[in-house]
Amino acid sequence: MDNCKITTLSNGVKIVSEFIPYLKSFSLGFWFNIGARDENLKNNGISHFIEHMLFKGTKSRSAKQISDEIESYGGYLNAFTSKEQTCYYGRGLSENFKKTFIVLSDMIQNPLFKDSHIVKEAGVVIDELKDIEDSPEELIFDKFEELVFNGNSLSYPIIGTEKNILSFNSNILHQFHKASYRLDNLLIAVSGAIQHEEVVKLAEKYFTGRKNTSTQRRKNNFKVAVNNLIIQKEIQQVHSILGRTTYGFNEPDRHKVKVLSTLLGDGSSSRLFQAVREKLGMTYQINTFLNSYLDISAFGVYYSTNEKQSEKVNEIILREFNKLRTIEVKPKELQRVKEYIKGNTLMSLENTTNRMTRLASSIFHYGKIVSVEDTLNKINAVTAEDILKLSEEVLNENTLSKIIICSKDNLIKKAA
């Protein structure tokens, strides 16, 4: 990790970078430790809305000028909001790093938040919300986390609600931006052919405000409860998730859950893919997921199938769960899973944006740069006995919540 460096400026801005000399490009991310988890019922969706609004212009640049300045040099700008962070990032050739840095630093520090822009963008975001509601394979994950994180702000959807989106105005956005986009809440992450000293120099020049810390803390009280939910939609297929909460990034056992999740339903060699799709042809989509946050994760199995086969697919999933709870995984299968994770991890690092994201994630979740080797060593250390013990806990049918999205006709048949 000699090519990775961390610096914290006196005003609280943290900089992490990885120098890769053989490249001709970079990925630069401006990360704020703010997301849907830090909202309340009245302003849920504001982090995501501000992410949209920061592209609408600053005191010195219009929206068109922001995109032109980057794209005229073959660069790329984008952003995303998660439940714990908001990131604004750019890619480009190394010779244009300073230009990208300046534009991004202007965007995040000097937003206009004009009411006319807000009204227009509210329509765009509501369209995005409607798209999610029309896509059961997207909507079901939001609803599942609402279910398993009930009582905690992690249950809030990132996009928010239509009522909240329509309520945002310039004053509300400026207040939230001032409180959340503090310098001590900013992490600048870079991967590519850029020297760390260059990043520090630019950060010192373009972030000149004073340190302004906050005592805001995230609630980490979770009520572990088993809940079932059926949502009616006019759709052809039945979409379902069976799952629960489990270990977050700050728990060492998360690596074991990652191995278990991969073994169960990641890739066409996984147990569920083989049992449900390959052997029986009962579903096109079936996979496990592990959505991890600092102190907790949402884990489960997602599948879509026709109404006639839904119960049968559910039975097979539970049967596979039972096998893992009672029969130790064979060394050959466990090794295949570990190699699969290793291959995916290493191949993802051929992309500088993935590398930059990994650096930021490492700082937010562990407070330091965790090497790829260290992560893979922890995966490699997982034993068959670990998987058996973890399965007894995580794959216990009595601790699993279930969510189904299906048509009204299917609801009537289930009730009959």
Determine the straight-line distance between the first and last CA of the chain, rounded to whole angstroms.
61
Catalytic residue among 18, 39, 51, 69: 51
Q: Mention every residue, 6+ apart, whose C-beta is less than 8 A from residue 10.
A: 211
What tokens does 148 get?
A: 């398993």
Q: Is 204 exposed, middle or buried (0-12, 13-18, 19+ CB in 10 A)?
A: middle
What tokens does 352 get?
A: 């500088």
Query: Phi and psi of 91, rounded to 5°?
Result: -130, 150
Asked if 286 contacts 273 with a C-beta cutoff of 8 angstroms, the reply is: yes
Q: Mention every residue, 6+ apart, whose C-beta is less than 8 A from residue 258.
A: 290, 341, 379
- Is 350 tagged catalytic? no
Distance CA 121, CA 51 (A): 11
> Rg for the chain (alpha carbons), in Å?
23
CA-based angle 29:35:39, to the nearest 5? 155
Asked if 91 contacts 75 with a C-beta cutoff of 8 angstroms, the reply is: yes
Distance CA 186, CA 77 (A): 18
Asked if 270 contacts 288 with a C-beta cutoff of 8 angstroms, the reply is: yes
**Strand pairing of 228-232 and 401-406?**
parallel
Point out the residues that are catalytic: 51
